[in-house]
C-alpha cells in the first residue's frame, strides 16, 4: 500500500527542486536579476555599515525581495510572450509593457523605503 505521506513529502521536495533550479536559471541567465541581486547585496552591506534597525532591515529585505520577485515575473511573462509570438506584435508589446510597468511600481516603492531608511544616516554622517 502506498504511504500518502511519502508522496506528499516527495512532491514538496520536487517542488523545492524546481524553485531552486528556477532561481539559479534567473541568476545565471538574466542580467537584470544579476544586477538587482548585486544592488541588493550592496544594500545589505550598507545596512550593516550604518547599523540600521531590525525593522529597517526587515523593510529593506522585503524591498529587495519585492524587486527580485517582480523582475522574475516580468521576465517569465516576456519569455512566454516571445515563445507565443516571436515577431513583433502590437498586443504582445502591450502585454510586455504592462509587465514592465509593474517593475516601475516596485522600484518606486522600494526607492521611497530606502530614502526613508537611509536619509537620516546619510545626513548624520555627511552633512551634520
C-alpha 105/C-alpha 99 separation (Å) is 11
Are 92 and 64 a contacting pair, CB within 8 Å?
no
Domain boundaries, the chain: 32-127
CATH 3.30.70.3420 is held by the domain 32-127: no
Q: From CA 39, how far away is CA 43, in angstroms rounded?
A: 6
What pLDDT tens digit does each residue of the chain (128 aa) get? 556 656 888 888 888 999 999 999 999 999 999 999 999 999 999 999 999 999 999 999 999 999 999 999 999 999 999 999 999 999 999 999 999 999 999 999 999 999 999 999 999 988 87
pTM of the model: 0.86
Amino acid at each position: 500500500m502506498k504511504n500518502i505521506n511519502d508522496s506528499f513529502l516527495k512532491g514538496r521536495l520536487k517542488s523545492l527542486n524546481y524553485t531552486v533550479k528556477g532561481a539559479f536559471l534567473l541568476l545565471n541567465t538574466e542580467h537584470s536579476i544579476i544586477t538587482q541581486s548585486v544592488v541588493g547585496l550592496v544594500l545589505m552591506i550598507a545596512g550593516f555599515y550604518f547599523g540600521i534597525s531590525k525593522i529597517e532591515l526587515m523593510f529593506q529585505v522585503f524591498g529587495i525581495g519585492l524587486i527580485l520577485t517582480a523582475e522574475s515575473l516580468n521576465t517569465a511573462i516576456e519569455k512566454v510572450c516571445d515563445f507565443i509570438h516571436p515577431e513583433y506584435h502590437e498586443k504582445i508589446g502591450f502585454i510586455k509593457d504592462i509587465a514592465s510597468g509593474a517593475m516601475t511600481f516596485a522600484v518606486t516603492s522600494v526607492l521611497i523605503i530606502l530614502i526613508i531608511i537611509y536619509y537620516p544616516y546619510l545626513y548624520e554622517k555627511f552633512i551634520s
